[in-house]
Amino acid sequence: MTTTSHYFEHDGLRFHYRESGSGFPFVFQHGLGGDSTQTFGLVSPPPGFRLITLDCRGHGDTRPLGPEAKLSIPQFADDLSALLDHLHLEQIVLGGISMGAATALHAVLTWPERVRGLVLSRPAWLDEVRTAGFEVFGFIAQLIRRYGAFQGAIRFQESPEYQSLREKSPDNALSLLAQFAHPRAEETVAKLERIPRHQPAHRAALWAGIRVPTLILGNRDDLIHPWEFAVEYARRIPGAELGELTPKSTSLERYTSDTQRFVTEFLVKLTTHSNIIPSIP
């Protein structure tokens, strides 16, 4: 399936987004330090759907960095709204991974009229500032600022923090080490300082007001994305489905195929309800 890249101007930045397929739009947002290659590496849109991912500010090929104060989940949702306006998309199925899940949640609670279905994969926040398990992001940022990305990565691998992560959650350890490898790691390091301090704007009680079909995905053995968070979302969002992914540290291939299967089944199921989205021809 052909994937194409595009750009649009908004708020003084040149935003990059990627899309493939055709039909009803499924906007699936990446996680912290990732970009559209993450989502497109996990999901191929089923027939009748158009997969779209926006590179958030500070990520991917969206440039320049812009004001560091705007590196926030609410701003990412505003930027996403600007993309929908640019593409003249009135309604979408919306989803995201980790940081992308937080962006999707903020968006559906802020402009629910545009969302017809919701996918939250590996959520990393509930409704409060996260502390436990997130201190490592500040440590990584300090290393990058002090030593640069290359030397910072070496020192990180030598640190007790990294060794502990390798024992408890190998996937988390590798994912965090990858933060040093991004081509713009030094330029965009502020995202590692600001995003983990995210204060959700909506309390958990408001999740009960989500009235669209919802899929929650999570996996065990993950300190950054606790399985219990996925369970809590599924419990509080009316009618939400909960799917368990194979941990990446167990099998990256199965994790990827699990994500594809759950998302495809969810999207196709939406087409069986004519009041949700148009049926696939």
Q: Is residue 189 part of a domain?
A: yes
Domain that holds residue 147: 131-197
Same domain for 93 and 24, yes or no, is yes
pLDDT at 132: 83
139 and 236 assigned to the same domain: no
β-pairing verdict for 92-97 and 3-10: unpaired
CATH number of the domain bearing residue 118: 3.40.50.1820
Mark whether 66 and 97 lie in a shared domain. yes
Number of alpha carbons in the 13 Å side-chain half-sphere of residue 273: 10
Q: Are residues 25 and 121 in the same domain?
A: yes
Whether 218 and 266 map to the same domain: the answer is yes
Does residue 40 sit in the same domain as residue 138?
A: no
- What's the structural domain count of the chain? 2
Can you read off the two tokens belonging to residue 6?
């595009």
Residues 253-267 pLDDT 10s: 999 999 999 999 999
Q: Can you list the residues of the chain whose pLDDT is less than 70?
A: 273-281
- Indicate if 212 and 116 belong to the same structural domain: yes
Residue where a domain terminates, one of 140, 172, 197: 197
In a shared domain, residues 207 and 253: yes
Co-location of 124 and 166 in the same domain: no
**Residue 37 domain-assigned (yes or no):** yes
Q: What is the pLDDT of residue 276?
A: 64
Q: Which of 139, 172, 197 is the endpoint of a domain?
A: 197
Is 281 within the bounds of a domain?
no
- Give the model's pLDDT for residue 274: 52
- Inside any domain, residue 277: no
For position 133, what pLDDT does the model report? 84
Are 276 and 213 spatial neighbours (Cβ–Cβ below 8 Å)?
Answer: yes
The answer on 210 and 192 residing in a single domain is no
Cα dihedral sign for 206, 81, 175, 245? Answer: positive
pLDDT of 280: 46
Q: Are residues 146 and 8 part of one domain?
A: no
Q: How large is the angle between the packed helices 160-168 and 135-158, nearest 10 degrees?
A: 100
C-alpha 269/C-alpha 229 separation (Å) is 24
Which residue among 148, 166, 197 closes a domain? 197
Same domain for 175 and 50: no
Is-contact 223 161, C-beta < 8 A?
no
